[in-house]
Amino acid sequence: MIKIDSASRALRLLQKTGPVDLIIVDLVMPKVNVFDFLKSVKDDKMLRRIPVILCTGDGNKDTVLKGVSLGAADFIMKPIDSAILIKKVEKIQEKSPGAILVVDDEELFRDYLGNVIKFSGFKPILASSGKEALTLVDANRISLVISDVKMPEMDGYELVKNLRVKHPRLPILLMSGYVDAAPDGSDVLAHADGFISKPFHNTDIIQEIERLVTSSG
């Protein structure tokens, strides 16, 4: 949890670090129009998917409607009841996409794809091997796994088979720069949810992410 005492500082931090799981912001702060802050978050491609809860001591209906129209996920009245807040957070998290797990043994490409994912508004988690990926899937809320096919020790196909044992409904997108790694229509397509050839355009991989995360939601 990160605590920030001004909306402008929060926006700068978010634009620097990328998506977080949730924003909780007070409606009343000195010299700050929180609705402008909310609009800035929702207009930013990298930040727009972050759910925002507005805290207010004002039960005015127009205030609530304005916040909802600008993209607020929910409101909570002050003084805040922690039990109510926890329920609201849990409900929002159930509807929000989890992280995108990128699995690739090439560090430069792994970092590159992680940045593409971050700037498209999703939270990336990076793994350098199939074994590490299995551990991360068990420890995190993952909406999609994007894995290279050609990797030492555990290749992408073996990773898919291992994931399907415990996570049969988790979307998996395979990728490869080797022509002979493309699926032939049988075993791979039966277990993975898609395949994309390297190199690919950013728009192509984002389109695939949008398709698979939306279909799994």
For residue 51 the two structure tokens come to 């759910």
Taking the C-alpha atoms of residue 53 and residue 72, their distance in angstroms, rounded to an integer, is 6
CB 190 within 8 A of CB 148: no
Q: What confidence tens digit (pLDDT) does each residue in 140-159 have?
A: 999 999 999 999 999 998 99
Nearest 10 degrees: CA dihedral of 136, 139, 143, 148?
A: 10
Complete domains list, the chain, with CATH: 7-95 (3.40.50.2300), 99-216 (3.40.50.2300)
Per-residue pLDDT at 53:
94
CA angle 21–200–164, rounded 5-degree value: 60
Average pLDDT on 119-125 reads: 93
Residue 184 has pLDDT above 60, yes or no: no
Q: What confidence tens digit (pLDDT) does each residue in 53-105 have?
A: 999 887 778 888 898 899 999 999 989 999 999 999 999 988 888 999 999 99
Per-residue pLDDT at 95:
85
Q: Where are the alpha helices (DSSP H) in the chain?
A: 7-17, 34-43, 61-69, 82-95, 107-119, 130-139, 156-166, 187-191, 202-216
Per-residue pLDDT at 11:
84
Q: Name the percent of the chain in helix, strand, coil, to the closest 5.
A: 45, 20, 35
Average pLDDT on 1-5 reads: 71
Q: What confidence tens digit (pLDDT) does each residue in 26-56 have?
A: 888 777 788 999 999 999 999 999 999 999 8
Helix, strand or coil, per DSSP, at residue 95: helix
Beta bridge partners of 76: 55
